[in-house]
Chain A
Amino acid sequence: MEEIKNVIEIKNVSKDYGDFKLDSISFNVPEGSVCGFIGQNGAGKTTTIKAVLDAINIDEGEIFVFGQNIKGNSAKLREDIGVVFDEMGFHEFMTGKDINIMMKNIYKNWDDNVFFDYLKKFSLPSKKPCGDFSRGMRMKLQIAVALSHKAKLLIMDEPTSGLDPIVRNEMVQIFREYVIEEDHSILLSSHITSDLEKISDEIVFINGGKIVLAGNKDEMLEKHGLLKCKKSELDSISQSLIVYAEEESYGVSALVNDRRACEKLYPGMVIEPASLEDIMFFYVNRK
């Protein structure tokens, strides 16, 4: 059996800001996969991404990208990483042409033709200052930049937040096309779990600076279930199966961490499939 290669390996990484701590987190992103990084705002997604890119100093732990420790190698490794943030970061007076001139003098593998093809594909004018672009256009511009230097790994921090569903779907389609190449991988952070359900292979769920869940998305969705019952019935269910229960107008809704076992043990109960949003909601409220 072929060994699974990881494009990102995070081992016991900690970063203490005083009011927030990334607490000894560990997870991997396998090569060729789309890893959805979910968590509410302020959970530590951006801090983790910055740590992976060596844009912040970490207090403890190790991070490997493409099998190499980022310490001392980050500048070289970033040649193969495309990054998209929730905010554009380019100067508002810059046009697509200006960005092309700048980037081709930065990335060794920058391809002008690919960049202008993407601008055309995304209907982005190359002579218009990007300050005049809408939020969706700005995101597309960032994606065009990220995809124009033959990056093998895309790291995106909330790229779909604040966008309308049409543009979000377009973006998901772009990401799908990108991962057709088998050595292309994506780490995609978002709190919009519906986008991640469409595209992710793996899910890493972070909450309060700690990794709550990490693993295959389908297995995660298969494993969890949403149990609907009366409050009196809830007491009869093994507490080890329940992640968290919430009272609703008609009774109780509880997230169970082993749907199949629950169905076997309590055949009369209604257990619906849980979405990523449900999983996130119940795990966050568990505290």
Chain B
Amino acid sequence: MKGLIIKDLMCLRKQRITFLYIVAVVLIVSVMFVLSAKFGNIAVSNRYMIAENDLSEIDVKNLSSLALVLFMMLPIAMVGDIGTLFTADGKAGFANVSAVLPISIEKRVLAKFVAFISFLGIGVGADIVISLILSLLTDMLSFVDFVEIIITGASVLFIYCSLFCLYMFIFGYGKESVAGGVSLLTIMLALMVANFEKLKVIYISCFIDSAQVIDVNPINVIMNVIKDKCISALIVAVVVGVLSYVLSVFLAKRKRGIV
């Protein structure tokens, strides 16, 4: 099994320059953003927004934090692109090779899951280093806040990757974009169902009766979810991961030749 994980990590080797480039860009842009939010033009515009647009300091802080969060997610998202693994395997016809190796189907499927967990681990590691640097520069987010955000982001990507693997076993090689799309739709649908009440309130406040719910700011809601739900997200990720693995093994045993 170790050999298969090594092979998958070799597939990622091609992307290492891009990954290092993204980490460097994220670090530089984030530092510039933080410095600007503290002393520069963004700080000025924040003050202007507070004065002119009835926004509270918390709203503005959350808005800035959200921008930072989006930067931070890039390294994890980049290594979370496990579609490349399946594309490379499919193109090479590697399923023929792996099917005749002395490795059981359970271990072959597990190798795929461990490979993407390792990829996420690389992204998370890079993000933690960036967070450490940023938390020293800004009071927008503490290191703990950053870690909570990283856990949430990594959990969402873990869920995406688990579902992606499962859908790949359903659809087969060459259907990476379909599997990716369906995985995203599944996550979005699940999030919408889980947050139906909040979404209803936001929808009413935005489109029907803005006077009815004045407290609800979508950005604040998103930021609170990202920060406060990290443990829940982690638990859901583990459950989805285990379920996806079990179902993937079942499918791989039935269909054969797909892993």
* Interface, chain A (partner B; CB < 8 A): 50, 53, 55-57, 75-79, 81, 83, 85, 87-94, 98, 101-108
Q: A75-B102, A78-B102 are in contact. Are A105 and B2 (CB under 8 A)?
A: yes
Give the chain A neighbours of B107 by CB distance below 8 A.
Answer: 75
**Which listed residue (A53, A79, A91, A106) contacts B3, Cβ 8 A?**
A106
Give the chain A neighbours of B2 by CB distance below 8 A.
Answer: 105-106
CB distance from B133 to the nearest CB of A (A): 33
Q: A90-B92, A91-B92 are in contact. Are A55 and B100 (CB under 8 A)?
A: yes
* 9 residue pairs A–B, Cβ–Cβ below 8 Å: A57-B254, A79-B102, A83-B100, A91-B10, A91-B11, A93-B11, A98-B7, A98-B10, A102-B10
Give the chain A neighbours of B256 by CB distance below 8 A.
Answer: 55-57
Taking CB atoms and an 8 Å cut-off, the chain B residues in 1-29 that contact chain A are: 1-4, 6-7, 10-11, 13-14
Main secondary structure, interface of B, reads helix
Q: How many residues of B contact A (CB 8 A)?
A: 28
* Interface, chain B (partner A; CB < 8 A): 1-4, 6-7, 10-11, 13-14, 88-89, 91-94, 96-97, 99-104, 107, 254, 256-257
Which of A91, A101, A103 has the most C-beta atoms of chain B within 10 angstroms of its own C-beta? A91
| Complex Cα gap A75–B256 (Å) | 14
**Contact call A87/B102, Cβ cutoff below 8 A:** no
CB distance from A206 to the nearest CB of B (A): 20
Give the chain A neighbours of B94 by CB distance below 8 A.
Answer: 89-91
Which of B14, B89, B93 has the most C-beta atoms of chain A within 10 angstroms of its own C-beta? B93
**Contact call B102/A76, Cβ cutoff below 8 A:** yes
Give the chain B neighbours of A81 by CB distance below 8 A.
Answer: 100
**Contact call B102/A91, Cβ cutoff below 8 A:** no
| Complex Cα gap A101–B7 (Å) | 9
Give the chain B neighbours of A108 by CB distance below 8 A.
Answer: 102
CB distance from A65 to the nearest CB of B (A): 12
**Which listed residue (A53, A87, A103, A104) contacts B100, Cβ 8 A?**
A53
